[in-house]
Amino acid sequence: MRGDLLDFTAAPAWGDTESPAVRFDRDHWLLIEDGRIVGRQAAEPDASWARKDHAGQLVLPGFIDTHVHCPQLEVIGSYGTELLDWLQRYTFPAERAFADPARSRAGAEVFLDALLASGTTSAVVFPTVHKVSAEALFEGAAARGMRLVTGKVLMDRHAPDGLRDDVEQAERDCVDLIDRFHGRERLAYAVTVRFAPTSTPEQLAMAGALCRADASLYMQTHVAENRAEVAWVAQLFPQARSYLDVYECVGLVHERAVLAHGIWLDAADKRLLAERGAQVAHCPSSNLFLGSGLFDWPGAEFNVSLASDVGGGTSLSLPRNLLDAYKIQALRGARLTAWAALHAATRGAAEALRLGGEVGGLSAGQAADLCVWDWARGPVAEARDAAARELHERVFAWMTQADERNLAACYVAGQRRV
Ligand SMILES: [Zn+2]
């Protein structure tokens, strides 16, 4: 595959627009065999290779969206609420429909195709409380060859009828799904606690026990997104030192934990996340749209990855979300480079998921999960691109102007899917 290849060899330093961690090879070739990258070179390969010529286009590793909700496509762009009333008014009714297996399967198909059409080839996904919604996602991802982490949502209180499980049945469902899908093809299971308020202490303890029994399992949840939510958690768990401590006390904060948002964390929480090797999935468009708060990215000592959080987020496109991440830091008086942003959406997320050898880069040995992007689309972006003088300027302008319409092709394990 020929194109302008861009990826990272390390984490770029904050604020560094000329970073040694950036690897940009203009008009180079990637050699791909059996779904994996086997080489990267300037010279044209010999005639025995089949060619995909993307000369003059930008080739990036497929994006990794570390927090997104499959059943919420239909509530994207819903008006007028913050987190807790947003759940009640829009999200819970949409999720209830996924009790129907046909609805779950159709929802998973549309969702996975939409991820690919946005340039996202790996994702950590919330389905619903219904076991069938997790099965549908696993099966749909396997059919597309995608790297997907998901698990049945646990919620046994503070949710409407049709959206609550109980500890015993939930545990049986998790064990069955882990047996059938965890480690199969490119799938992995995440113990999925919606958030502390919708699980009883008994259910949280069960979730922690599942993680302790198998260190290869992921864990996904939400933490410290919104101030009213943080206050509610303090009321429900008066013995906990903080919101994060509710999860820590039952063993849910570990190196495969993906916690969405993390806006309202204190210094002890931040140290704990770093010690445990856990990651925060930063969800910029969601945080702006729901008015949740401005994430302190430069102050994070822990791993930070990027996420759309659709339907709280307003776009599955990670470039759109990276632009929103830049705007959040601008409001805080900081500056997010294109390098730090793109790294977090590719290599940074892969490393934080302990998948750095497999995804997130364009190196020999990694899966050929690749997206080909038009540098510019339309007269405004074309004029801006032509005026760019150096690499960071060009890539940053791309990041501010691009969305899924710039995606020229998307390959998953070497197979063209878009
Ligand atoms: Zn979320």
> pLDDT tens-digit profile of 346-368?
999 999 999 999 999 999 999 99
Measure 71 CA to ligand 1 centroid, in angstroms. 11
Q: pLDDT digits over 264-278, tens only?
A: 999 999 999 999 999
Least Cα distance to 24 among 362, 405, 374, 366 occurs for 362
Domain boundaries, the chain: 2-60+371-416, 63-316
Where would I find the H helices in 118-256? 131-144, 167-181, 201-213, 227-236, 243-249
Q: In DSSP terms, which residues pair with 28 in a beta bridge?
A: 3
pLDDT the model gives residue 201: 98
Apex 356 CA angle, 121 and 412, nearest 5: 25
Measure 283 CA to ligand 1 centroid, in angstroms. 8
Measure 52 CA to ligand 1 centroid, in angstroms. 37
- CATH fold of 2-60+371-416 reads Urease, subunit C; domain 1 (2.30.40)
Residue 35: HSE in the Cβ half-sphere, 13 Å Cα cutoff: 13
Measure 312 CA to ligand 1 centroid, in angstroms. 7
Measure 62 CA to ligand 1 centroid, in angstroms. 21
> 355: which residues sit within 8 A by CB, 6+ positions away?
122, 147
Measure 220 CA to ligand 1 centroid, in angstroms. 10
Split at pLDDT 50, 70, 90, the class of 94 is: very high
- pTM of the predicted model, to two decimals? 0.98
> 233: which residues sit within 8 A by CB, 6+ positions away?
196, 197, 240, 243, 246
Per-residue pLDDT, averaged over 341-346, amounts to 98
CB 360 within 8 A of CB 349: yes
pLDDT the model gives residue 174: 98
Q: pLDDT digits over 164-189, tens only?
A: 999 999 999 999 999 999 999 999 99
Measure 110 CA to ligand 1 centroid, in angstroms. 19
Measure 402 CA to ligand 1 centroid, in angstroms. 24
Measure 41 CA to ligand 1 centroid, in angstroms. 40
- CATH fold of 63-316 reads TIM Barrel (3.20.20)
Cis peptide before 311 (omega within 30 of 0): yes
Measure 67 CA to ligand 1 centroid, in angstroms. 6
pLDDT the model gives residue 245: 98
* Kind plus residue range of the DSSP H or E element containing 295: none
pLDDT the model gives residue 217: 98
Q: Which residue has the tokens 């993906």?
A: 258
Measure 416 CA to ligand 1 centroid, in angstroms. 29
Measure 360 CA to ligand 1 centroid, in angstroms. 22
Split at pLDDT 50, 70, 90, the class of 378 is: very high
pLDDT the model gives residue 308: 98
